[in-house]
Structure 1
């Protein structure tokens, strides 16, 4: 194994360990020392690869956005193949990703923990969220940029409200199925945007 391969392997091990610490302990409790110990590497290894704790968490969040981007890309392809609404498919994929990866999703948008101007992080975030923007733009509503931001806010808000149990506390339907309610509301929202778009075509 070359030195480059060894470095890549060590970095990947640290990222995996940081993610495991994040899931088990929450973002506030992730430390460089604990991550190095879990990965079986020296205490200096995280600083060598990421600079500091914020750099390490930013790398984890960047991987999260890469994964979200691949999830949304697959949803876009599925919508195209099935003839379903791209916005519906993307919204469902976003909600399901957020509910399946709560700790990671929380970190991905926690600015206080991240180096938010890191180029790789910025690129991964823009790529992932760009799928929602493109889906809304393709529908042709007026002010599509604003509608894409609203669409993102809706699906992200559904993830947060579902995780916190807030939806089922106030909803009269789906009271015992918060994830089902979130999926239903994605469809309701998509139908609304479709209707608005149709008025402008």
Structure 2
């Protein structure tokens, strides 16, 4: 007999409902009432757990950074079995995550919608992006902090260019080919970080 899974808490149900609303409608259309209705809880429940809309979206964004961190950690483990650098593996995982969860990533970096000074959010941000910093530090001989910021800007920028269709237009390719091109550009960039950091 299969064990009975633990009951889902109202807070977890609200977070899941908010994430679903976000994915379907975008951050601007997420409301406390709509989330409560989707979670099948009272209209007062979101305010009870999160305070207000910004608090709820901050919790969703925090969970998003935790998911990104898990995706990057998994990529770092898989890298040991592949013929690619840790930096390239993390960069490709970032691109894949961004393209798979576009509305979530948009929210995660939209300070105007979040409580940007929330301790849990800051910790989750540092955890996820710290993996990129470590990978850059392993290959960059100098200016590792600057190279880690540049590396994040590259992968985040590639996600945006693919999502907006700009990358495909510039290179005159089928839009469906753009994600593969973005991953290839990550590999090219990662291969150049160490030599460039020495100059």
Q: TM-score, normalised by structure 2?
A: 0.92
Q: Secondary structure at the match of 1:193?
A: helix
Count the aligned residue pairs. Answer: 194
1:182 match: 182
Q: How big is the alpha-carbon RMSD for the aligned residues of Structure 1 and Structure 2? A: 1.7
**1:79-118 CA deviation, whole Å, 9 max, x = no partner?**
2344530010000000000000001010000010000110
Matched, 1:28 2:21: no
- Matched with 1:63 is 63
Q: CA deviation at 1:192?
A: 1.1
State which drifts further: 83-92 or 118-127: 83-92
CA displacement, residues 123-167 of structure 1 (integer Å, 9 cap, x when unaligned): 001000001000000113210100000000000000001000000
Q: Is the Cα–Cα contact under 8 Å of residues 174 and 180 in structure 1 kept in the other structure?
A: no
Write out aligned runs for 1:63-102 (5 A). 63-82=63-82, 84-102=84-102
CA shift, 1:196, in A, is 2.3
Q: Report the counterpart of residue 40 of structure 2 in structure 1.
A: 40
The C-alpha deviation readout for 1:165-184, integer Å capped at 9, x for no partner, is: 00011115666511111111
Q: Any runs of at least 4 consecutive aligned residues in structure 1 with deviations exceeding 6 A, and if so which?
A: none
Contact residue 79 and residue 86 of structure 1 kept, 8 A: yes
- Superimposed CA distance per residue, residues 28-79 of structure 1 (whole angstroms, 9 cap, x where no aligned partner): 0100001001111000000000000000000000000000001111111222
